[in-house]
Amino acid sequence: MQVEETELEGCYVIIPRIFRDKRGEFFESFNQDKFEELTGVNPNFIQDNQSISHKNVLRGLHFQIGDYAQAKLVRVISGSVLDVVVDIRPNSKTFGRYIALVLDNQTNKQLYIPRGMAHGFLTLEDHTIFSYKCDNYYNKASERGIIFNDKSIGIDWNEDGASLIVSEKDLVLPTLEEYFHEDSISHGR
């Protein structure tokens, strides 16, 4: 396993060592001890999730808040995605910045996303299977999101927008500015 730091503090690209031969391939998709040794992070993953999507499905940008905030380890089992992470930690030096990378079943790269980040992805192929480990349980009341096309973030999804398949829920998410303005009002700041 190899780990590459991203420009977002605490967010890592995980590159597995893949063994290929005439039978196919094998790789270790997660090893707690190696992960901790290479990242300094000791997650306790307690929930695994999986989605299967058609080409051009855009999911995100999602996160959970409070006691149900989640760190995630994401990967693609079949197909490919453009995976995007936005730093939404108000005191972070990279607040509002994002990273984007292709995750696929050829390289089997994974992305570790710490708490305090919004996450989304765009499927690049039909029948893309996306899998992720979470260090906290899903809680509907703690679920939040930022609109995928927030101009202040400026994510390049490499799409014209017309062909995207986005849920009704994700189409009405606030911008980053609106989210933090609404959050400060609701908490009396």
Helix, strand, or coil here: 64? strand
d(CA 69, CA 47): 13
State the catalytic residue, choosing from 62, 112, 119, 179: 62
Is 98 tagged catalytic?
no
Catalytic annotation, pick one of 12, 98, 112, 132: 132
Q: Is 132 a catalytic residue?
A: yes
- Taking alpha carbons only, the member of 46, 40, 38 closest to residue 17 is 38
The answer to whether 155 touches 97, Cβ cutoff 8 Å, is: no
Report d(CA 121, CA 49) in Å as an integer.
14
The percent helix, strand, coil of the chain (3-state, each to 5) is 15, 40, 45
Tell me: cis bond preceding 61? Omega within 30 of 0 counts.
Answer: yes
Residues annotated as catalytic are: 62, 132
